[in-house]
Amino acid sequence: MFKILKYSFYDLARSRWSYIYFLFYFILALVLLFLNHDLSKAVITLMNVIIILVPLIGTIFGVMYYYNSREFTELLLAQPIKRKSIFLGQYLGIAISLSLSLLLGIGIPFVIYGLFNSAAIWDFSLLLLTGVFLTFIFVALAFNISIDNENKIKGFGYAVLLWLFMAVIYDGLFLMSLVMFEDYPLDKFSLIGSMLNPIDLSRTLILLKLDISVLMGYTGAVFKQYFGTNVGLFTSLGVLFIWIIVPVRRIVIRAKRKDF
């Protein structure tokens, strides 16, 4: 697995897109920090960007890489390597190189700004951590979609739909249902609702940590009340972790039975 990982990482580390992705975050963070001079505001703005953009790029990159490397995957399949190693290696290759673009792109400006002397380092680390989690989750979901769909166009379509659903539609439905059933106790419902979507969960997690959960109204209050900060943090991270493990398991199982 690590051999495949090494080479797909080499390949991606030289891809133009990795640099464009890196530069985007680099410039964004630089501008936010040095024009704004408010670390906590910068973290919130970055959060809003990361939470939408990371899943989008993760899904698109994942699907694109899978379809582009089809013939190469076939060449690898004819080598004495287990299927599991091939697919896990490629998956980790993309997830790690995207995560690095994110970590370096945002990390470097913050270090230049003097992050290590500031109290915001924990909020900032959490932001990066959820960004990495979201990358791993959405690349895994993208791999699942592309393994199931031979047809590129269909695969791309489903991937974009998945992102749209998680990033936009889910929130809408969630809000609508909260409004419709406002006469009923909704604590558990809203809690489970935000756990089921990794994007919502990441947002909740960061906002809770920033201690501005009041802004989030109901969900924030419920989260505060039920988990307190630390238990809530670990539960949420645990759920994010499950969001990685389950799709990755499925990649392995599907890859074992697939015809190429």
Partner 1 sequence: MIEINSLSKKFNKNVVLFDLDLLIEKAGIFAILGPNGSGKTTLIKAILGMVIPDDGEIMVANINIRKSSNYRYNLDYLPQIANFPHNLKVRELIAMIKDLRGETDEEENLIDRFNLYPFLDKKLGNLSGGTKQKVNILLTFMYDSPILILDEPTTGLDPIALIQLKKLILEKKEAGKTILITSHIMSFVEEMTDEIVFLLEGKIHFKGLIQKLKQDTQQKDLEHAIAVLLEKSHV
List interacting residues with partner 1 (CB under 8 A).
Answer: 3, 7-8, 10-12, 14-15, 68-72, 74-83, 257-260
Give the integer Cα–Cα distance in Å for 139 and 147.
12
Nearer to partner 1, 5 or 132 (CB): 5
The minimum distance between CB 65 and partner 1, in angstroms, equals 10
Q: Phi and psi of 80, rounded to 5°?
A: -75, 70
Minimum separation from the CB atom of position 257 to partner 1 (A): 6
As measured in angstroms, the least distance from the Cβ of 253 to partner 1 is 13
Cβ-based nearer residue to partner 1, 19 or 24 = 19
CB count in 10 Å sphere of residue 216: 17
- Name which of 17 and 227 has its Cβ closer to partner 1: 17
Nearest-approach distance from CB 254 to partner 1, in angstroms: 12
Q: Which is nearer to partner 1, 210 or 251 (CB)?
A: 251
> Residue written as tokens 């943090």?
233
Smaller CB separation from partner 1, 148 or 211: 148
Q: Rounded to an integer, what distance in angstroms lies between the CA atom of residue 43 and that of residue 211?
A: 13
Minimum Å distance from CB 33 to partner 1? 32
Going from the C-alpha of 233 to that of each of 39, 42, 209, the distances in angstroms are 21, 21, 8
Cα dihedral 18→23→25→30 (10° resolution): 160
